[in-house]
Amino acid sequence: MKITDVKVIVSSPGRNFVTVKIFTDEGLTGIGDATLNGREKAVVAYLEDHLVPILIGRDPSRIEDTWQYFYKGAYWRRGPVTMAAIAGIDTALWDIKAKAAGMPLYQLLGGASREKMLCYTHAQGTEISEAVEAVAEKIEQGYHAVRAQVGIPGLPAVYGTDKSATNVAALNNLPHEEVWSTPKYLRHIPKLFAALREKLGDDVELLHDAHHRLTPLEAARLGRDLEPYRLFWLEDTVAAEHQEGFRLIRKHTVTPLAVGEVFNTIWDARLLIEEQLIDYIRMTTVHAGGVTPLRRIMDFASVYNVRTACHGAMDMSPVCLAANLHLGLWAPNFGIQEYTPYLPETLEVFPGAWTAKDGYLHPGNAPGHGVEIDEALAARYPYERSYLPVNRLEDGTLWHW
Ligand code: CS2
Ligand code: MG
């Protein structure tokens, strides 16, 4: 088999997605997600100008060799743009291989290790009472695990509670700015989880995302203060470039820790995994460079009792979700999958075989990863410039968002 053509499709059915579509001389096609929220076009240029010309004429079955060629062969390794571009191609090649075999991708990875996959979704409110209601609603809808975020008194809307921050239209021009105070946040969050446990009891799994804003000592304090409420995890406490920082957090709290949505390679997580400084690794197919490296990372993590928890916010396309689901159905150390239901227009552009029911997900049994792109429909949703928000302390200092 030979690769005859590669298209990089940019569309915005609710939000921007970059999709790689690979065509072969045997008529089989495969698609992969290459979306990097807020920097989409950098990945498009990387693909079109540098990777696509090398792909034409190659054998699509040589997935490992192609991955190594693009990773090692560039000389300049790693980074979100490079790895998202490679992921788009790698995922599309696995899709083709599984279609050629007439099997769902999870079968090629080693088969199912479970019948269904636990997921968690998001709920939030400006006030604690509103957040508690929102979580209760998700439980009523059938979810067993919910990430809870709340507004902080004295601050305008913060991470996870500002609806405009997820609205493409609101972000069209320049980045929206948020305001942050760690002391106010640290005082307020334990009150949210006290209220949640009081209202919902102990059976519900509760999660929280600090979005990289704390120092290790502050994270340790928050982890300790949340211990009575038995969280499923506390996510992204500190900016994890400093992997050693997790040693201090780990020493002081038994609240489980998750990190990794912004990681691109195993090297971003090696120490965290080897020293068992985290409980869940959040790397996801598109930002980790594809199915090939993420499978390797999952296996590495399994040796150290670290479980998988792929990033699954709406800014990764259903193609990425499907790839995560195939990996997760196979992974012996699967933990949980993040799931935020897509907008109807996104699902129309990316029809798929995966299912979400009663708080569980399954990739389906269609050959490949099971998601296709409706190109004609995608063309009706042109790219719209969009940015993630930025964050400042109350005195104006630029902070982590
Ligand atoms: C978040 C994301 O899902 C999560 O845990 O941290 O919503 C993240 O902010 C976005 O995916 C960024 O593009
Ligand atoms: Mg997060």
Indicate if ligand 1 lies below 6 Å from the C-beta of 209: yes
List 122, 208, 211, 326, catalytic entry: 211
Model confidence band, residue 240 (pLDDT cutoffs 50, 70, 90) = confident
Best probe residue, ligand 1, of 315, 321, 340, 391 (max atoms within 8 Å of C-beta): 315
Q: How far apart are CA 319 and CA 153, in angstroms?
A: 38
Residue 326 bears catalytic tag:
no
Nearest ligand atom owner, CA of 284: 1
Average pLDDT of the residues in 12-34: 98
- Is residue 319's pLDDT more than 90? yes
Compute, in angstroms, the gap from residue 312 CA to the centroid of ligand 1.
Answer: 8
The confidence score (pLDDT) of residue 212 equals: 96
Tell which wins on pLDDT, 174 or 79. Answer: 79
Which is the closest atom of ligand 1 to the Cα of 311? 3
Best probe residue, ligand 1, of 43, 207, 261 (max atoms within 8 Å of C-beta): 261
Q: Which helix (H) or strand (E) holds 93?
A: helix 80-101
Lowest mean pLDDT among 75-79, 101-105, 157-161, 259-263: 157-161
Compute, in angstroms, the gap from residue 313 CA to the centroid of ligand 1.
Answer: 6
Domains of the chain by residue range: 3-103, 108-367
Compute, in angstroms, the gap from residue 317 CA to the centroid of ligand 1.
Answer: 13
Residue among 184, 259, 250 at smallest CA distance from 219: 250
Indicate if ligand 1 lies below 6 Å from the C-beta of 372: no
CB 222 within 8 Å of CB 189: yes
- Is residue 358's pLDDT more than 60? yes
Closest Cα to atom 10 of ligand 1: 313
The confidence score (pLDDT) of residue 172 equals: 57
The confidence score (pLDDT) of residue 93 equals: 99
**Overall residue count recorded for the chain in this entry:** 401
Q: How far apart are CA 98 and CA 104, in angstroms?
A: 6
CB 301 within 8 Å of CB 308: yes
Best probe residue, ligand 1, of 16, 35, 168, 209 (max atoms within 8 Å of C-beta): 209
Indicate if ligand 1 lies below 6 Å from the C-beta of 388: yes
The confidence score (pLDDT) of residue 167 equals: 47
Compute, in angstroms, the gap from residue 59 CA to the centroid of ligand 1.
Answer: 35
Lowest mean pLDDT among 159-163, 303-307, 374-378: 159-163
Best probe residue, ligand 1, of 163, 166, 311 (max atoms within 8 Å of C-beta): 311
User: Could you tell me the two tokens for 390?
Assistant: 């930025």
Model confidence band, residue 158 (pLDDT cutoffs 50, 70, 90) = confident
Q: How far apart are CA 144 and CA 201, in angstroms?
A: 12
Average pLDDT of the residues in 241-267: 96
Nearest ligand atom owner, CA of 316: 1
Q: Which CATH architecture has domain 3-103?
A: 2-Layer Sandwich (3.30)
345 phi, psi to nearest 5 deg? -70, -30
Average pLDDT of the residues in 357-369: 98
Closest Cα to atom 1 of ligand 1: 313
Closest Cα to atom 4 of ligand 1: 313
Secondary structure (DSSP) of 168-230: GGGGSSS--EEEE-HHHHHHHHHHHHHHHHHHH-SSSEEEEE-TTBB-HHHHHHHHHHHGGG-
- Is residue 256's pLDDT more than 90? yes
Compute, in angstroms, the gap from residue 187 CA to the centroid of ligand 1.
Answer: 23
Average pLDDT of the residues in 287-298: 98
Which is the closest atom of ligand 1 to the Cα of 282? 5
Residue 159 bears catalytic tag:
yes
Indicate if ligand 1 lies below 6 Å from the C-beta of 100: no
Average pLDDT of the residues in 183-201: 98
Tell which wins on pLDDT, 89 or 159. Answer: 89
Residue list, CB under 5 A from ion ligand 2:
209, 261
Model confidence band, residue 163 (pLDDT cutoffs 50, 70, 90) = low
Compute, in angstroms, the gap from residue 158 CA to the centroid of ligand 1.
Answer: 13
Domain covering 108-367 in this structure, CATH number: 3.20.20.120
Compute, in angstroms, the gap from residue 336 CA to the centroid of ligand 2.
Answer: 14
Closest Cα to atom 2 of ligand 1: 313
Average pLDDT of the residues in 238-258: 95
The confidence score (pLDDT) of residue 173 equals: 74
Mean of per-residue pLDDT scores for the chain: 96
The confidence score (pLDDT) of residue 142 equals: 98
CA 283, 372, 56: angle at the middle one, nearest 5? 85
Amino acid at 356: A
The confidence score (pLDDT) of residue 28 equals: 98
List 159, 229, 280, 342, catalytic entry: 159
- Is residue 165's pLDDT more than 80? no
